[in-house]
Amino acid sequence: MKLSKKLSIFTFLLLLSVLFLAPVKANAATVGQQLTTPEEDWQRIDDSDPKIIYNGLWKKETDGSVVNAWKGTAIYCQGGSSVSLSFKFYGTKLRIIGNLYHNKRSDNIVIIDGVTETFSEYSTTSTWQPLVYEKKDLELGIHTVTIKPSPDMLTSQYLMLDAFDIDKSGYLIDFYQAPNLSAISGDAKITLNWDAVEGASNYIIKRSTVTGGPYETVGTSTTNLFTDTSLTNGIKYFYIVVPVVSGVERTSSNKASATPTADTNPDYIGNYATLVTTMTNGGIKEYSLPILDIDKFITWYDNKSDGTGKSYYTFNKLSNIVPYLRIKEYISFDKISSFEVKEFNQ
């Protein structure tokens, strides 16, 4: 009997030791609890991360107590319908690290992938780095987060945000995705077209004649279309487009390139040709010209055959005979027996 009692007491004490000495379960923090470091399997993103997009009036907290914030920085707003922050992350869970105080709201808004919830920063005591919101068990993938102050917030109240915890293996993603840029060549010009970026007020167009840059700004556009003119035919140009959102340059587009070329007539294959004319007296004359000039000659010949136009055609030739600068040769229509066009690319 005594042995049985001793065993019962021993079993009870062993059970207590298991309960009290067992390690604390990971991810055991609860909303409202101070959480000065991210727990196991979490990582902390500071409010100053450049991938977080702030809209409206946000201010950096400068009160001396901000030294108790994560990395010594925090940001706050005092309400307004245009005030929000947004970011995208890859992962399955999210925590918001804020600030508790007696003048805070309990109906601040968080929207994850279009689903709206609220969270509170109200407390009778002041606490830095508290966990004010938690969402776990999201589907693994990219999630869009938007945080807004309560629509009823007074200017004497404020929403303060310190940091965000996400999966240890997760990461933030550029909120404004890089626009897809394409370039189409023309005669001494290149036309650019790209995907519109949500929220962009304008786009900066940058150009280089060397792949990889450096690039120089050659213009801006408020639409997703731009034509770069006065270019040199035959030179390859490289472009990138940078969207501007809320006054900040965002992720630039892919690199696109094109080479402007002179317009050609679809009736021709080459861009140059040698015009060989046989005269009625048996003489031969040859002129190597851009295909557009060849086409002008043929148009003149066809018109004159129909009884319209001048009786002669003028060929302009540069001269290297001193002192002549240029020689104009006039060919009479009735002196031409036949002609031949030999196309080629220059």
What is the CATH number for 71? Answer: 2.60.120.260
Whether 168 and 192 map to the same domain: the answer is no
For residues 153 and 105, the answer to whether their CB atoms sit within 8 Å is yes
Mean pLDDT lowest among 17-21, 73-77, 319-323: 17-21
7: helix, strand or coil? helix
pLDDT at 248 over 90: no
Whether 54 and 157 map to the same domain: the answer is yes
pLDDT at 170 over 90: yes
Whether 69 and 157 map to the same domain: the answer is yes
The tokens describing 219, both together, are 């213009």
pTM score: 0.57
Q: What's the domain range around 52? A: 42-173
Whether 203 and 86 map to the same domain: the answer is no
| Cis previous bond, 50, omega within 30 | no
pLDDT at 46 over 90: yes
Q: Which of 140, 173, 206 is the last residue of a domain?
A: 173
Q: How far, in Å, CA of 287 to CA of 283, rounded? A: 14
Q: What is the dihedral of CA 187, 189, 195, 199, to 10 degrees?
A: -150
Whether 118 and 202 map to the same domain: the answer is no
Query: Is 2 part of a structural domain of the chain?
Result: no
Whether 166 and 186 map to the same domain: the answer is no
What's the average model confidence in pLDDT over 154-183?
93
Whether 68 and 154 map to the same domain: the answer is yes
Return mean pLDDT, the chain: 88
Query: Is 318 part of a structural domain of the chain?
Result: yes
The total domain count for the chain is 3
Query: Is 75 part of a structural domain of the chain?
Result: yes
Query: Is 12 part of a structural domain of the chain?
Result: no
Query: Is 70 part of a structural domain of the chain?
Result: yes
